[in-house]
Amino acid sequence: MAHNAQGNHNGAERRRGVCLVISAPSGAGKSTIANALRASESALKHSVSVTTRQPRPGEKEGVHYHFRTMEDFEHMAANGELLEWATVFGRGYGTPRAPVEAALAAGHDMVFDIDWQGHQQIRHALPDDVVSLFVLPPSLEELERRLRGRASDHPDEIARRMAAARDEISHWREFDHVIINTELDRAITEARSVLTAARLQTRRRTGLLDFVASFGA
Ligand SMILES: Nc1ncnc2c1ncn2[C@@H]1O[C@H](COP(=O)(O)OP(=O)(O)OP(=O)(O)O)[C@@H](O)[C@H]1O
Ligand SMILES: Nc1nc2c(ncn2[C@@H]2O[C@H](COP(=O)(O)O)[C@@H](O)[C@H]2O)c(=O)[nH]1
Protein backbone atom coordinates (compact mmCIF):
# COMPACT_ATOMS: atom_id res chain seq x y z
CA MET A 1 0.00 0.00 0.00
CA ALA A 2 1.43 3.42 -0.97
CA HIS A 3 1.61 6.24 1.52
CA ASN A 4 2.44 9.91 1.27
CA ALA A 5 4.38 12.04 3.72
CA GLN A 6 1.26 12.67 5.81
CA GLY A 7 0.75 8.97 6.30
CA ASN A 8 -2.29 8.93 4.00
CA HIS A 9 -2.97 5.80 1.97
CA ASN A 10 -2.75 6.61 -1.74
CA GLY A 11 -4.22 9.97 -0.78
CA ALA A 12 -7.59 8.24 -0.25
CA GLU A 13 -7.70 8.45 3.55
CA ARG A 14 -7.72 12.03 4.70
CA ARG A 15 -6.41 13.31 8.00
CA ARG A 16 -9.42 14.59 9.99
CA GLY A 17 -9.36 18.15 11.22
CA VAL A 18 -8.77 19.15 14.84
CA CYS A 19 -11.29 21.17 16.89
CA LEU A 20 -9.58 23.71 19.15
CA VAL A 21 -12.20 24.85 21.68
CA ILE A 22 -11.26 28.04 23.54
CA SER A 23 -13.34 29.10 26.55
CA ALA A 24 -12.89 31.80 29.17
CA PRO A 25 -14.88 34.22 31.26
CA SER A 26 -16.10 37.04 29.06
CA GLY A 27 -13.32 39.57 28.54
CA ALA A 28 -10.35 37.28 29.31
CA GLY A 29 -9.22 37.50 25.69
CA LYS A 30 -10.28 34.28 23.96
CA SER A 31 -11.55 35.99 20.78
CA THR A 32 -8.35 38.05 20.59
CA ILE A 33 -6.25 34.87 20.87
CA ALA A 34 -8.44 32.94 18.40
CA ASN A 35 -8.25 35.82 15.90
CA ALA A 36 -4.45 35.95 16.21
CA LEU A 37 -4.19 32.21 15.49
CA ARG A 38 -6.38 32.60 12.41
CA ALA A 39 -4.50 35.69 11.23
CA SER A 40 -1.27 33.70 11.13
CA GLU A 41 -2.87 30.71 9.40
CA SER A 42 -5.40 31.32 6.67
CA ALA A 43 -6.30 27.60 6.54
CA LEU A 44 -7.52 27.60 10.12
CA LYS A 45 -11.30 27.93 10.11
CA HIS A 46 -13.43 29.81 12.59
CA SER A 47 -16.70 28.26 13.66
CA VAL A 48 -19.19 31.12 13.22
CA SER A 49 -21.80 30.78 15.96
CA VAL A 50 -25.48 31.62 15.89
CA THR A 51 -26.65 34.11 18.51
CA THR A 52 -29.86 35.84 19.51
CA ARG A 53 -28.00 38.87 20.86
CA GLN A 54 -27.89 42.14 18.95
CA PRO A 55 -24.81 42.88 16.80
CA ARG A 56 -22.23 45.19 18.35
CA PRO A 57 -21.03 48.13 16.25
CA GLY A 58 -18.76 46.72 13.54
CA GLU A 59 -19.97 43.12 13.85
CA LYS A 60 -20.96 41.60 10.52
CA GLU A 61 -23.59 38.97 9.79
CA GLY A 62 -21.92 35.67 8.87
CA VAL A 63 -18.47 36.89 9.90
CA HIS A 64 -18.66 37.45 13.65
CA TYR A 65 -21.97 35.67 14.19
CA HIS A 66 -25.13 34.58 12.44
CA PHE A 67 -27.60 36.91 14.16
CA ARG A 68 -30.99 35.23 14.52
CA THR A 69 -34.30 35.73 16.31
CA MET A 70 -35.05 33.53 19.30
CA GLU A 71 -37.71 31.81 17.19
CA ASP A 72 -35.19 30.92 14.45
CA PHE A 73 -32.66 29.84 17.05
CA GLU A 74 -35.14 27.50 18.76
CA HIS A 75 -36.12 26.11 15.36
CA MET A 76 -32.47 25.36 14.53
CA ALA A 77 -31.94 23.69 17.91
CA ALA A 78 -35.11 21.58 17.59
CA ASN A 79 -34.11 20.50 14.04
CA GLY A 80 -30.70 19.26 15.18
CA GLU A 81 -28.94 21.97 13.15
CA LEU A 82 -26.78 22.96 16.13
CA LEU A 83 -23.89 20.80 17.30
CA GLU A 84 -24.22 22.45 20.70
CA TRP A 85 -26.15 25.34 22.13
CA ALA A 86 -26.53 27.13 25.43
CA THR A 87 -28.06 30.14 27.09
CA VAL A 88 -25.24 32.54 27.98
CA PHE A 89 -25.95 35.85 29.75
CA GLY A 90 -29.63 35.36 28.94
CA ARG A 91 -29.11 34.94 25.16
CA GLY A 92 -29.04 31.90 22.89
CA TYR A 93 -25.67 30.90 21.42
CA GLY A 94 -24.97 27.80 19.32
CA THR A 95 -22.60 26.15 16.85
CA PRO A 96 -24.01 25.29 13.41
CA ARG A 97 -23.42 21.58 12.84
CA ALA A 98 -23.01 21.32 9.05
CA PRO A 99 -19.92 23.57 8.58
CA VAL A 100 -18.09 21.72 11.36
CA GLU A 101 -18.79 18.29 9.92
CA ALA A 102 -17.75 19.44 6.43
CA ALA A 103 -14.54 21.09 7.64
CA LEU A 104 -13.41 18.14 9.76
CA ALA A 105 -14.13 15.63 7.00
CA ALA A 106 -12.10 17.78 4.58
CA GLY A 107 -9.20 17.81 7.04
CA HIS A 108 -9.51 21.47 8.05
CA ASP A 109 -8.78 22.50 11.64
CA MET A 110 -11.31 24.73 13.38
CA VAL A 111 -11.27 27.16 16.30
CA PHE A 112 -14.35 27.51 18.51
CA ASP A 113 -14.86 30.49 20.79
CA ILE A 114 -17.63 29.12 23.02
CA ASP A 115 -18.51 28.86 26.70
CA TRP A 116 -17.96 25.92 29.09
CA GLN A 117 -21.45 24.49 28.40
CA GLY A 118 -20.65 24.36 24.69
CA HIS A 119 -17.31 22.73 25.45
CA GLN A 120 -19.00 19.94 27.42
CA GLN A 121 -21.43 19.26 24.57
CA ILE A 122 -18.84 19.37 21.75
CA ARG A 123 -16.51 17.10 23.68
CA HIS A 124 -19.37 14.64 24.06
CA ALA A 125 -20.39 14.92 20.38
CA LEU A 126 -16.83 14.73 18.94
CA PRO A 127 -14.73 13.00 21.61
CA ASP A 128 -11.85 12.14 19.26
CA ASP A 129 -11.60 15.52 17.59
CA VAL A 130 -11.53 18.07 20.41
CA VAL A 131 -8.64 19.67 22.23
CA SER A 132 -9.68 22.37 24.67
CA LEU A 133 -8.06 25.43 26.17
CA PHE A 134 -9.29 27.55 29.06
CA VAL A 135 -8.05 31.14 29.25
CA LEU A 136 -7.79 32.75 32.67
CA PRO A 137 -7.44 36.50 33.20
CA PRO A 138 -4.62 37.64 35.53
CA SER A 139 -7.26 38.82 38.04
CA LEU A 140 -10.96 39.71 38.29
CA GLU A 141 -9.97 43.40 38.46
CA GLU A 142 -8.10 43.10 35.16
CA LEU A 143 -11.03 41.17 33.66
CA GLU A 144 -13.36 44.06 34.45
CA ARG A 145 -10.80 46.57 33.12
CA ARG A 146 -10.71 44.66 29.81
CA LEU A 147 -14.49 44.47 29.54
CA ARG A 148 -14.76 48.21 30.20
CA GLY A 149 -11.82 48.96 27.88
CA ARG A 150 -13.43 46.98 25.06
CA ALA A 151 -16.29 49.47 25.27
CA SER A 152 -18.65 47.13 23.46
CA ASP A 153 -21.21 46.40 26.18
CA HIS A 154 -23.55 48.49 28.32
CA PRO A 155 -22.44 48.77 31.99
CA ASP A 156 -25.39 46.53 33.01
CA GLU A 157 -24.17 43.87 30.58
CA ILE A 158 -20.62 44.18 31.95
CA ALA A 159 -22.00 43.73 35.47
CA ARG A 160 -23.89 40.60 34.31
CA ARG A 161 -20.71 39.18 32.78
CA MET A 162 -18.61 39.97 35.87
CA ALA A 163 -21.24 38.33 38.09
CA ALA A 164 -20.92 35.11 36.02
CA ALA A 165 -17.10 35.12 35.87
CA ARG A 166 -16.38 33.12 39.06
CA ASP A 167 -18.85 30.41 38.08
CA GLU A 168 -17.32 30.16 34.59
CA ILE A 169 -13.80 29.98 36.02
CA SER A 170 -14.93 27.13 38.31
CA HIS A 171 -15.06 24.90 35.18
CA TRP A 172 -11.36 25.29 34.38
CA ARG A 173 -10.51 21.69 35.36
CA GLU A 174 -12.71 20.32 32.57
CA PHE A 175 -10.26 21.61 29.96
CA ASP A 176 -7.17 19.89 28.52
CA HIS A 177 -5.02 23.01 28.84
CA VAL A 178 -5.17 26.22 30.87
CA ILE A 179 -3.27 29.44 30.20
CA ILE A 180 -3.19 32.80 31.95
CA ASN A 181 -3.56 35.67 29.52
CA THR A 182 -1.37 38.28 31.15
CA GLU A 183 0.94 39.13 28.28
CA LEU A 184 -0.95 38.69 25.01
CA ASP A 185 1.95 37.58 22.78
CA ARG A 186 2.88 34.88 25.25
CA ALA A 187 -0.73 33.67 25.50
CA ILE A 188 -0.94 33.46 21.70
CA THR A 189 2.30 31.46 21.56
CA GLU A 190 0.99 29.07 24.20
CA ALA A 191 -2.33 28.62 22.37
CA ARG A 192 -0.44 27.93 19.14
CA SER A 193 1.60 25.26 20.94
CA VAL A 194 -1.62 23.57 22.07
CA LEU A 195 -2.88 23.48 18.49
CA THR A 196 0.44 22.17 17.16
CA ALA A 197 0.51 19.38 19.74
CA ALA A 198 -3.10 18.44 18.94
CA ARG A 199 -2.25 18.22 15.24
CA LEU A 200 0.63 15.86 15.91
CA GLN A 201 -1.61 13.72 18.08
CA THR A 202 -4.29 13.54 15.40
CA ARG A 203 -1.81 12.72 12.70
CA ARG A 204 -0.45 9.94 14.88
CA ARG A 205 -3.93 8.56 15.45
CA THR A 206 -5.28 8.71 11.92
CA GLY A 207 -2.22 8.22 9.76
CA LEU A 208 1.14 7.49 11.24
CA LEU A 209 0.20 4.39 13.22
CA ASP A 210 -1.25 2.78 10.08
CA PHE A 211 1.85 3.83 8.16
CA VAL A 212 4.17 2.26 10.71
CA ALA A 213 2.01 -0.87 10.76
CA SER A 214 2.55 -1.20 6.99
CA PHE A 215 6.21 -2.04 7.73
CA GLY A 216 5.01 -5.03 9.69
CA ALA A 217 7.19 -3.80 12.56
N1 LIG B 1 -3.25 40.15 27.36
C2 LIG B 1 -4.07 41.22 27.24
N3 LIG B 1 -3.72 42.39 27.81
C4 LIG B 1 -4.54 43.46 27.71
N5 LIG B 1 -5.71 43.50 27.04
C6 LIG B 1 -6.10 42.34 26.45
C7 LIG B 1 -5.31 41.15 26.52
N8 LIG B 1 -5.96 40.18 25.85
C9 LIG B 1 -7.11 40.72 25.37
N10 LIG B 1 -7.19 42.03 25.74
C11 LIG B 1 -8.28 42.97 25.47
O12 LIG B 1 -9.35 42.62 26.35
C13 LIG B 1 -10.61 42.85 25.73
C14 LIG B 1 -11.45 41.58 25.78
O15 LIG B 1 -10.86 40.61 24.90
P16 LIG B 1 -11.77 39.62 24.02
O17 LIG B 1 -12.86 40.39 23.34
O18 LIG B 1 -10.84 38.84 23.17
O19 LIG B 1 -12.39 38.72 25.18
P20 LIG B 1 -13.31 37.42 25.11
O21 LIG B 1 -12.82 36.48 26.13
O22 LIG B 1 -13.37 36.93 23.70
O23 LIG B 1 -14.72 38.02 25.54
P24 LIG B 1 -16.22 37.52 25.12
O25 LIG B 1 -16.45 36.20 25.78
O26 LIG B 1 -17.10 38.59 25.68
O27 LIG B 1 -16.31 37.43 23.63
C28 LIG B 1 -10.33 43.32 24.31
O29 LIG B 1 -10.42 44.73 24.27
C30 LIG B 1 -8.88 42.88 24.07
O31 LIG B 1 -8.21 43.71 23.17
N1 LIG C 1 -22.08 27.57 24.04
C2 LIG C 1 -21.75 28.55 23.20
N3 LIG C 1 -21.22 29.71 23.67
C4 LIG C 1 -20.88 30.64 22.77
C5 LIG C 1 -21.06 30.46 21.39
N6 LIG C 1 -20.63 31.58 20.75
C7 LIG C 1 -20.19 32.42 21.70
N8 LIG C 1 -20.34 31.86 22.92
C9 LIG C 1 -19.98 32.44 24.22
O10 LIG C 1 -20.90 33.45 24.58
C11 LIG C 1 -20.24 34.39 25.42
C12 LIG C 1 -20.60 35.79 25.03
O13 LIG C 1 -20.13 36.09 23.75
P14 LIG C 1 -20.22 37.59 23.19
O15 LIG C 1 -19.81 37.51 21.75
O16 LIG C 1 -21.65 38.03 23.38
O17 LIG C 1 -19.27 38.41 24.03
C18 LIG C 1 -18.74 34.08 25.33
O19 LIG C 1 -18.35 33.39 26.51
C20 LIG C 1 -18.65 33.16 24.17
O21 LIG C 1 -17.59 32.27 24.28
C22 LIG C 1 -21.61 29.23 20.94
O23 LIG C 1 -21.80 28.97 19.73
N24 LIG C 1 -21.94 28.33 21.86
Nearest to 16 by CA among 4, 6, 26: 6
| Claim to verify: residue 62 and residue 29 sit in the same structural domain | no
Tell me if 174 is assigned to some domain.
Answer: yes
> Do 154 and 78 share a structural domain?
no
Distance 112 CA to ligand 1 centre (A): 15
Q: Note whether 50 and 156 are same-domain residues.
A: no
Task: Answer whether 26 contacts ligand 2 (Cβ < 6 A).
Answer: yes
Q: Please tell me whether residue 177 adopts helix, strand or coil conformation.
A: strand
Among 107, 139, 156, the domain-final residue is 107
Which of the ligands is closest to the CA of residue 29?
Answer: 1
For residues 50 and 24, membership in a common domain is answered with no
Q: Per-10-residue mean pLDDT for the chain, 217 residues long?
A: 43 75 98 96 95 96 98 98 97 98 93 98 94 98 97 94 97 98 98 93 64 80
Q: How many domains does the chain have?
A: 2
158 with 56, same domain?
no
> Does 100 lie in the same domain as 83?
yes
Using CA positions, which residue lies closest to atom 5 of ligand 2?
Answer: 114
41 and 78 share one domain: no
- Report which protein residue has its CA nearest ligand 2's atom 1: 118
Q: Which residues contact 92 (CB under 8 A, 6 or more apart)?
A: 50, 51, 52, 68, 70, 73, 74, 77, 85, 86
Task: Verify that 102 and 161 share a domain, yes or no.
Answer: no
Domain of 147, in residue numbers: 12-45+109-202
Q: At what angle do helices 140-150 and 155-169 cross, to 10 degrees?
A: 140
Assess whether the C-beta atom of 28 lies below 6 angstroms from ligand 1: yes
* Cα–Cα distance, 121 to 188 (Å, whole number): 25
Here the CATH number for the domain that contains residue 141 is: 3.40.50.300
Residues 140 and 56 in one domain: no
Q: 107, 136, 152: which is the final residue of a domain?
A: 107
Task: Please identify, by atom number, the ligand 2 atom nearest to the C-alpha of residue 168.
Answer: 19
Domain contains 145: yes
131 contacts 20 by C-beta, under 8 angstroms: yes
Angle separating helix axes 30-39 and 184-203, nearest 10 degrees: 60
Note whether 8 and 14 are within 8 A (CB). Answer: yes
Which domain-ending residue is among 67, 84, 107? Answer: 107
For residue 25, give the ligand 2 atom closest to its CA. Answer: 19
The whole-number pLDDT of residue 12 equals 44
**What is the reported pLDDT for 1?**
40
Instruction: Clarify whether residues 65 and 162 are in a common domain.
Output: no
Instruction: Give the closest residue (by CA) to ligand 1 atom 25.
Output: 26
